[in-house]
A and B are shown apart, each in its own frame.
Chain A
Amino acid sequence: MSSETLHLGVMANSVVRELANIGLAHATTAMAELTGKTFDMAVPEVESVALERLPSILGDPNGLTVATYMSIDGDVGGHIAFLMPWHSAQQLWLMLVGDAPTSPDDVSDLHASVALEVGNMVNAGLLNSISDMTGLSLHATPPQVSMDMTAAVVASIVCEASFVDSVALSIQTEIFDLSHRVSGFFVYIPTVGGLRSVFQSLGVLEAA
């Protein structure tokens, strides 16, 4: 089988959307606890696309993004990344560190590790909710951060994911603070086998 898209039925898509909804609520709470700000979230749009198309559907491919990426082992293997536009990352640094670098060349170890911790927390929020609802295990490997053009970052994750038949789910939502200065979204790429396990554990027929 090639790595073309696994077509999600209406039911399967709405299940993924609900999982995302709950996971994002966890992620939003985590962001709020860390920053002391109130965060809100737009209703997520879930889209399953061919892996290779993923870099071209995520906004300006040349835009600068701060991405926290983790690969996932366990019952539901795969890859997850939380991406923030550069301007949002700067706002987050201002809130948490008190200053913000103007370019990726000026990022200090402190700024990098703050970005890593935020991404780690929100990714874990999403993964934990999937694990809680399904009873399946998802073990994230240590996070890695990139600050570079969006397409290059997403393409690099897609390359890692293409070793195993996988489903690219872009969970397009915005996590934003009430002044709308911070936003972000997820790329979640479970393996085909892992996503089937999720559906089976919830009693959903994937193509129904």
Chain B
Amino acid sequence: MAVASNVLVGMAEIHVLKGSGGFSCLGLGSCIGLCMMDPTAQVAGMAHVMLPEAFADRAGEKPGKFADTAVPELLALLEKAGARPERLVCAIAGGAQVFKFGAEGTNRLEIGRRNAEAVLTHLKSRGYTPRGQEVGGSLGRTMTLVIETGIITVRTVTQGEKTLCNLRA
């Protein structure tokens, strides 16, 4: 039996797979891992979002980098691969503030919190509410989706691995 491939989704990347395999975002800190899947069409995708919104004065950036461009790009790629928008289910993880010791009140950018809010807003405006979400806090996370099972797991250093949700259930 062939071993299903597990695609590592690096920062600012978006990957879409059809049929089998899976994805991981390794080490989500303030970034967001966004998974979307059409269980019927067996099409799934993952985005590794770094920042809440694209810069108006910079061209040539990867769409996966920003929440406001990553959500529509992921949806477009999923549809192109045969997914139907009304069948898509999603889950998100990340948006942590991993620097929790020292320099109180200097986290002025609060990127993690803003990333989570932005991704949720752009999902909601298109009618999607995550089936599972684990955002905020101070722990770095690794998020994995296996297409065959639809199961999304989230792993942290201190709490180990747990199932976030099942996109097929």
Contact = CB atoms under 8 A, between A and B. Distances in A.
- Say which size band chain B's interface belongs to: 35 or more
**A: contact size bracket:** 35 or more
A9 interface: no
A193 interface: no
A208 interface: no
B12 A152 contact: no
Residue of B27, B96, B139 with most partner-chain A CB within 10 A: B27
Contact of A151 (B58, B101, B109, B140): B140
Contact of A56 (B10, B99, B103, B156): B10
Contact of A145 (B12, B99, B112): B99
Contact of B158 (A62, A103, A112, A143): A103
A155 B103 contact: no
Interface stretch (B28-36, B74-82, B84-92): B28-36
Interface string A1-31: 1111000000000000000000000000000
Nearest to A66: B101
A153 B111 contact: no
B4 interface: no
A148 B139 contact: yes
Interface in B52-95: 58-62, 65
Given A52-B50, A155-B11, A105 B101 contact: no
B31 A155 contact: yes
Contacts of A51: 11
A162 interface: yes
Interface in A114-151: 115-116, 141-151
A95 B61 CA distance: 46
B27 A160 contact: no
Interface string A50-81: 01110110000110100101000000000000
Contacts of B26: 55-56, 61-62, 149, 151
A155 B27 contact: yes
